[in-house]
Amino acid sequence: MSVSEQQITEIIDWLARYGCQGEGEGMIRLLYTPEWLAAQNALKERFEQVGMEAEFDSVGNLKATFVGSDPTSGTVASGSHVDTVVNGGKLDGALGIEAAFLAMSDLVKTYGQPRRSMSVVSMAEEEGSRFPYVFWGSKNLFDLEENSRMSDIKDKDGVSFVDAMRSCGFDFNTGHDPLMDGVTNWLELHIEQGNTLEMEGEQVGIVHGIVGQRRYDIHLVGEANHAGTTMMRYRHDVVQAYARIVSQSIEKARAAGDPLVLTFGKVEVKPNVVNVVPGEMTFTMDCRHTDRDFLVSFSAGVAADMRSICDEMGIQIDIDNWMDEDPVPMDDGMISVIQRACRDRGLNYRDMHSGAGHDSQIIAKHIPSGMIFVPSISGISYNPSEATKVEDIKEGIDALEAAIYALAY
């Protein structure tokens, strides 16, 4: 295994040219934009330069393959998504594509043609940063797309999804997407986007599962009234209700312990002025856990607590559970392959779960899948400051390469 730190730095900086907003300004490479198209075309050209067979599917997912000596034995695939969040870093998603390319190229250089084919996949979209739809790339690979829904959505500038897609030369799948046909194993390398590996002093994370997520919009209606003349005991103050809900719920989450996480995020208050008791409010809640039953039970309990608090305070409440994603385990066999590769290479690793969503949660339901994490400095992601030490990236690529070797050679 001879991928160098110089090779890693070079390819990261090279791909970051497509969408970089300037020094310290972050990346913007959104689905079906000129920057996105330029990146996918540049990747295709680079893949072909080393002898890979590269192709797009209908929607813009890109796959490049080193054909094996026994292509009937299947394909080992690895990669991630090429799109970014707005003003994000240059590693999220992109590193998985770069790592797969470096690992497979090095294997062919060192050992020659593999027995099983090896493919790098650069998925069109995962983030949902431009249009309100996530996993467009990976969902298309398994006929899970919702084309009818996409026909009417637009980005913040009023550009329709369909127009943006067709302007890049792509269109809806009209039948089965063949891009992942024959793929028997999937691997994804990704930055952790948290600080566990860094805090524990380990360089490689082997992911056993991706958390389930339940997301809510909660709307409260109380009574707006004069801030000076309405006595405290007569108020129906939605902010007070919100404060009680957050405090009580967070305490329950802390008591439940890891791996549960609970987050109250976006908050909108009306009338949102200094001298009026707030009478209406909308806020969000995000709850995640690796166990489906616990996730459902805990979040249902929090919802019941919210209703109880609002009943006591004379406040109307509407709870919309608009996202309900089950936890997704990685394949036991793939976990064992990565563990063995790390032990054989003497790599410093830990077994862990992913608290963030990834393309692998879509793919794992159809193909035996595994994930590898590398540390994020200070746990920072979705930020221009997103970074990982190059020596840690090299350790992750070593683990990925060793796992691919075990599967393909």
What would the 3-class secondary structure string for 97-109 be? HHHHHHHHHHHHH
Q: Is 127 assigned a ligand-binding role in the annotation?
A: yes
Tell whether residue 17 is among the known ligand binding residues: no
Give the closest residue to 96 by CA, choosing from 403, 397, 363: 397
81 annotated binding-site participant: yes
- Is 275 labelled a binding residue? yes
* Residue 237 assigned ligand-binding role: no
Known binding residues: 81, 92, 127, 190, 215, 275, 288
Known binding residues for allantoate: 215, 275, 288
Known binding residues for Zn(2+): 81, 92, 127, 190
